[in-house]
Structure 1
Amino acid sequence: MVNAINEKNSAGSTKTKQLVIDSDVHSYFNSIEELVPYCDESLQKRLNIGPFKKKSFNGKVVSSGEFRFPECRYINPGSVLRLDAFSPNGSIPGADPEFVAKDLFDRSNTVYGVLNSANATMGAFHNVEIANEFNSVYNNWQYENWIEKDARYKMSMLVTPLDPVAAVKEIERIGKKPGVVAINLQTTSIPLGKRHFYPIYEIAEAYGLPILMHPDSESSGENGPAQAVGPASTYMEWHACLGLIAQRNIASLVCEGVFERFPKLKFVFAEYGMAWLPGLMWRLDKNWKALRDEVPWLKNRPSEYIRRNVRLGTQPIEEPFRSKDLLEVIQMAGAEDMLLYSSDYPHWDGDEADRVFNSLPKDLKNKIFYENALNTYNFNR
Structure 2
Amino acid sequence: MDYPLISCDDHLDLNQLPTDLWTSRLPAHLKDRGPHVEMIDGRAVWMCEGKNLGSWSGVASGFSGPKPIFTALDRGGIVDQTERRPAVAELRLADMDRDGVYAHVIFGPVTSLNFEDTELRDACYRAYNEWLKEFCAAAPDRLIGVPMLPPEPEAAVSALEHIIALGGFRQANLQIAMAQPRLEDTRWEPLWEMLEKSGIILSFHVTVFASVSRAFDKYKGSPGATFLHVKMFIEQFLDPFVDLFAWGILERHPGLKIVIAESGIGWLPWVIEELDYRHWRLWEAEEFWADRGGIPHKMKPSELFKRQVYGTFQQSPTAVALAKFYGEDKLLWATDYPHPDSIWPNSRKILAEFTEGADPAFVRKIAFENAAKLYGLDLPAQVDAIAAE
TM over 0.5: yes
Counterpart of 1:339 in structure 2 is 331
Counterpart residue type for residue 50 of structure 2: E
- TM-aligned CA deviation for residue 118 of structure 1: 2.4
Q: Which of 356, 359, 362 does residue 361 from structure 1 map onto?
A: 359
Q: Which of 260, 268, 289 does residue 269 from structure 1 map onto?
A: 260
Change (3 A) 1:326 1:201: closer
Indicate yes or no: 2:133 matched with 1:143.
Answer: yes
Counterpart residue type for residue 346 of structure 1: P
Indicate yes or no: 2:8 matched with 1:23.
Answer: yes
Distance, in Å, in 1 between the alignment partners of 2:297 and 2:54 is 37
Change (3 A) 1:90 1:40: same
Change (3 A) 1:308 1:64: closer
Change (3 A) 1:253 1:81: same
Instruction: Using the TM superposition, name which of 358-367 and 166-175 deviates more.
Output: 166-175
Indicate yes or no: 2:106 matched with 1:108.
Answer: no
Matches within 5 A, 1:1-381: 16-28=1-13, 29-47=16-34, 49=36, 65-69=49-53, 77-80=68-71, 82-83=73-74, 84=76, 86=78, 90-105=82-97, 107-110=99-102, 112-118=103-109, 121-122=112-113, 124-144=114-134, 146-151=135-140, 152-162=142-152, 164-187=153-176, 188=178, 190=180, 191-217=182-208, 220=211, 234-292=225-283, 296-315=295-314, 317-318=315-316, 323=317, 326-331=319-324, 333-351=325-343, 352-356=347-351, 357-359=354-356, 360-379=358-377
Distance, in Å, in 2 between the alignment partners of 1:326 and 1:377 is 21
Distance, in Å, in 2 between the alignment partners of 1:113 and 1:126 is 32
Secondary structure class of the residue paired with 1:42: coil
Counterpart residue type for residue 321 of structure 2: E
Change (3 A) 1:32 1:291: farther
Structure 1 residues 219-261: Cα deviation after superposition (integer angstroms, max 9, x where no partner): 649x9989xxxxxx93431235412433332211011100111
Counterpart residue type for residue 329 of structure 1: L
Q: Which runs of 5+ in 1 are unaligned?
A: 1-15, 227-232
Distance, in Å, in 2 between the alignment partners of 1:132 and 1:239 is 30
Structure 1 residues 268-325: Cα deviation after superposition (integer angstroms, max 9, x where no partner): 011010111221111111111012457821111111101111100113x54xxxx5x6
Counterpart residue type for residue 96 of structure 1: V
Counterpart residue type for residue 173 of structure 2: N
Change (3 A) 1:126 1:80: farther
Give yes or no for contact 1:46–1:67 (8 Å, CA) kept in 2.
no
Percent identity, aligned pairs only?
Answer: 22
Counterpart residue type for residue 256 of structure 2: L
How many equivalent pairs are there? Answer: 338
Higher RCO by CA contacts (8 Å cutoff, separation 6 or greater): 2
Distance, in Å, in 2 between the alignment partners of 1:256 and 1:224 is 32
Change (3 A) 1:57 1:299: closer
Give yes or no for contact 2:257–2:309 (8 Å, CA) kept in 1.
yes
Counterpart residue type for residue 32 of structure 2: K
Report runs of 4+ in structure 1 exceeding 4 Å deviation.
55-59, 85-89, 223-226
Counterpart residue type for residue 375 of structure 1: K
- TM-aligned CA deviation for residue 45 of structure 1: 1.4
Distance, in Å, in 2 between the alignment partners of 1:363 and 1:56 is 53
- TM-aligned CA deviation for residue 202 of structure 1: 1.2
Change (3 A) 1:313 1:48: closer
Change (3 A) 1:264 1:64: closer
Secondary structure class of the residue paired with 1:211: strand
Secondary structure class of the residue paired with 1:180: coil
Give yes or no for contact 1:183–1:212 (8 Å, CA) kept in 2.
yes
Give yes or no for contact 2:104–2:144 (8 Å, CA) kept in 1.
yes
Distance, in Å, in 2 between the alignment partners of 1:256 and 1:225 is 30
Distance, in Å, in 1 between the alignment partners of 2:280 and 2:42 is 69
- TM-aligned CA deviation for residue 67 of structure 1: 3.9
Give yes or no for contact 2:105–2:145 (8 Å, CA) kept in 1.
yes
Change (3 A) 1:236 1:193: farther
Change (3 A) 1:283 1:215: same
- TM-aligned CA deviation for residue 194 of structure 1: 3.6
